[in-house]
Structures are given as C-alpha cells and as structure tokens.
Amino acid sequence: MAGLLSRVVNSLKHSWSLFQDDSYMNGGIRSYDGGAGYYGAPNRRSGYASEQTILSSIHTRMAIDVAGIDIRHVRTDDNGSYLEDMDSDLQNCLTVEPNIDQGARQFRQDMAMTLFEDGCIAVVPVVTDSDPTDSNAYSIQQLRVGTIVAWFPQHVRVSLYDDRKGERKEVTVPKRLAAVIENPLYAVMNQPNSTFQRLKRKLGMLDAVDEQTSSGKLDMIIQLPYVVKSEARRQQAEQRRKDLEAQLKGSTYGVAYTDGTEKITQLNRPLENNLLKQVEYLTNELYVQLGMTAEVMNGTADEKAMLNYFNRTVEPVVQAIAEAMKRTFLTKTARTQKQSIMYFRDPFKLVPMEQLAEIVDKFTRNEVLSSNEIRAAIGIKPSKDPKADQLVNSNMPQPNPPMDGSADISTGSASSDVPLDDTADDGDEALQSGLDGLNDILDQIFSDLGVEDG
C-alpha cells in the first residue's frame, strides 16, 4: 500500500501540462524563439498553388503518387538485392523525420512538387554530427529541399528554409554535399517551349478572355439620330454616352432611358477564337507525353492503365531521387559495404480484392512469402503460430520433426549418429517384424471363427 501511494504522489509531483505553465501562455518567453512570425507555414513554397488550372492538379496528383513510394537506407547482398534496413540517422530522415517541419511522406511530396515546378532541386543536409567539409565520416541528421538559384563549376547556390529564424536564405554548398536531382520529364514539363509550358500560356490567355467577358461590361452600341462627323457632333455624342453610363451606374436595378429616335444594339458575345480547342488539344497531348490519362486523374483507371502510369511517369522520378541520394549521401566505403538507397512500392495497392486471394495462394504455395508477410502486406495482425513465419507449402504433407533418439516414420531416418544404410536396415527389420505379428493375430481370429486358412 505504501509503494502504491508513493507512485501516485510521484506521478502527481512530476506531471506537467502545457496550459498550466505560465511561461508558455500569453506571449511568454517560451512561446516563441525570437524568429519572424507568420500566419502560414513559411517553409512551403507559394509557387505550388500559383497555378489555379489543371496544371496544378496534375502536379499534385503526380507528387502524391511519388510520395506514396518509400525510400530507405538499406543493406544489399552480393547480387544487389534488398537484405535489411540500416539503423542510421539517414534512415530516420528518410522514413520518420527529415526535419522539424516535415514528416517522411510530406518531405517526399515536397521534393516532387519542387522538382515538377522548377525542373531541378537540391536535397541538402542542413544538420550533421560533424563538419562535412572536413571529412566524409559524418552522419546526416536533417534534410531540406531547396531550389537552385545559381550554378557554379563545383558549387550550387540553393534557396533553403532556415528553421532557426523562420525565413528562406540563399546558401552556397558544394555539389558533392547536395543531392542535385533533375526532373526526368524536364523536356515535357520545364523546357520553355515544352507542351506543359505551351498549355500554361494558352490557359493564361483563355483566363484573360474569360475575365474580360465577365468583367461587367454591357458591350452595346448606341445609334444616334444624327450624323457624327463634325467635332461638335462628336462632343455631343460623347456627352450622350456619359449621360447613359451615369444613369446605369446610379440606378439600383440598372435601368436607363433613351430618346425615341435612338437605337441600342446589344453585342451578345465577343469575337470567336479557337483558344478552347487549342487547350483541349494540348491537354490531351500532355497526358500522352506524361504517360497518364484522364481516368488516372479522376481515379477510374483500370489496373493496366495505372501500371503503365507508374512505370512510365512515377518510377523514373523516384529512381532519379534515389540514385542522386545514393551517389551523394553514401561514400565509396559505404557502397563497398553493400549499403544503398532503394525505393519500394506496395505491390498489392492496385490489386482488386477478387484477385488478391489467388495471388496470396500462389505466393505462399510457391514459398515466395510466408503467411505473416502476406498478413502484414494486407493489413492483418501476424499470427503467433511458428509455422506462419516459415516458407512452407501448406497444401503438401510436411515431414514430422524427429524426436531425440527416435526414428522418423515418414523417411525411415533416425536422429542419432547411426549411418543411413544401417538405419534403413533396422527400419526394414522392424517393419517385417510388425507384419509377422499382424499375421499371427489374423490367424488367431480366423481360428476362433472356425475359418480354415487357405
């Protein structure tokens, strides 16, 4: 009883609430760190939402799909195949917390959005355990995505967000320390005369025409009952136009009066143009060049279309990111030790439920994945049965594990150190002895029933 009371008192003594600490409330000394304050997140680039057209939705859709693929710091075998995850600060940055403002998925989406917007980015280690300019033996603890504003032979000038002061700064870093990543679709999305940029200009022109159309203008012509050729008549016509505008502007319901001899002609619509047809053509052309369709955008694409989209559009971007990180963040010694940066996509995301059972059966029957690995992939808790962690085909009979010093009935082998041939002879003798005993029992049964042998 005394121990329980002591734990309760200790818990009450050391408990803490943010709202009970006055130093955090009402602008206390702990409520800010001395940096600039913002109503929005300053680490996000405003250019993401600057394009209020279909282009912004294409950027967002592709960035979300790129962010859905995991990037990890791993160890491989001699053939370059995945072996295990590394327990390192770089792995923590790639899978948990790259910096104080972002999680791993948000960081990947930030990389993709900036890459699509600017065509080239730099992923810079902003916090390390030692100076990376002095030695290659350093551990990366924080990463930031920056835009490249200037290029030099051995360096790049990068615009990065400084979380200490809450503002963006331009810093010059060596190329060997920053993972410089170029958009694989640069010729389609970022070239000055690319399909993406042409569509962007056409959409801007179409928006300008729409704005003029809906600007509140009446677009009408007044026909006066006299010829407007002399200067006095032109001044009289101009005064009549201003009078009519004043009537419409000052009226609550937009009602005005004219003389009986005057005629008003209303223009129904502006002059026709082919901007809309050009926008539709460029949109379809952009979908083709990006390897995506309208069904991918609205979520109704089938499995084949999504597979084509991932292979032609998403995976080249993720592979470019992984290769740049591997080249920059892993030294030659680390690569010799079979360390690598790899990306992994969940293969069951696009599989319909009616096909999942068949796939699971083939994977377990051919001993590709264990039952618990399958359960983890489809979101079910692992089983505690030891067999669930083994690569076995449950449709086939399995040999029983031999006991110490006893024979295995299914194989005729023994768990002792007796040679295989002697073990087989002993098994044959035991089998023959069992058959002879069975014959004696049958003879006795037939004799009791009065049945003669033969």
Q: How many Å apart are CA 295 and CA 257, to the nearest integer? A: 54
Q: What is the DSSP string of 300-345?
A: ---HHHHHHHIIIIIHHHHHHHHHHHHHHHS-HHHHHTTEEEEEE-
Q: How far apart are CA 344 and CA 322, in angstroms?
A: 11
d(CA 416, CA 407): 9
What proportion of the chain, given as a percentage, has pLDDT over 90?
A: 31
Looking at residue 14, its pLDDT comes to 59
Question: What tens digit of pLDDT does each residue of 186-227 get?
Answer: 999 988 888 899 988 888 888 777 776 666 666 677 778 888
Orientation of helix 195-213 relative to helix 275-290, angle to 10°: 150
Query: Tokens in use for 122?
Result: 């730099």
**Most confident range, picked from 84-93, 379-388, 395-404:** 84-93
pTM attached to this predicted model: 0.70
Cα(430)–Cα(432) distance, integer angstroms: 6
C-alpha dist (Å) from residue 110 to 48, 61, 65, 104, 402:
10, 13, 12, 10, 57
**Residue 353 CB: number of other CB atoms within 10 A?**
7
What's the farthest any 2 CA atoms get from each other in the chain?
148
Q: Between residues 410 and 35, which one has the greater pLDDT?
A: 35
Count CB neighbours of 61 within 10 A.
17
Structure tokens at 263: 């005629």
Which of 103-117, 300-314, 416-430 is modeled with the greatest confidence?
A: 103-117
Beta bridge partners of 263: 223
If you write DSSP's letter for every residue of 265-302 in order, what string do you get? EE--S----SHHHHHHHHHHHHHHHHT--HHHHHT---
- Where are the chain's structural domains? 46-186+303-344, 220-266, 348-398, 407-454
b/e map of 287-296 (b: 16 or more CB within 10 Å)? Answer: bebbbbbeeb
Q: Is residue 402 scored above 60 in pLDDT?
A: no
Distance (Å, whole) CA 339 – CA 77? 9
Q: Are 67 and 105 in contact (CB under 8 A)?
A: yes
Where is average pLDDT lowest: 117-131, 272-286, 298-312, 329-343? 272-286
Contact 220, 267 (CB under 8 A): yes
Residue 133: predicted pLDDT: 82
Question: Which tens digit of pLDDT belongs to each residue from 284-332?
Answer: 999 999 988 889 888 888 888 888 999 999 999 999 999 999 999 999 9
d(CA 142, CA 124): 9
Q: Give the best-scoring range by mean pLDDT among 163-167, 231-235, 315-319, 425-429.
A: 315-319
Q: How much is the pLDDT for 415?
A: 43
CB 125 within 8 A of CB 132: yes
Task: Supply 410's token pair.
Answer: 């299914």
What type of residue sits at position 228? V
**pLDDT score of 338:** 93
| CA–CA distance, 127 with 140 (Å, rounded to integer) | 6
- The yes-or-no verdict on residue 67 having pLDDT over 90 is yes
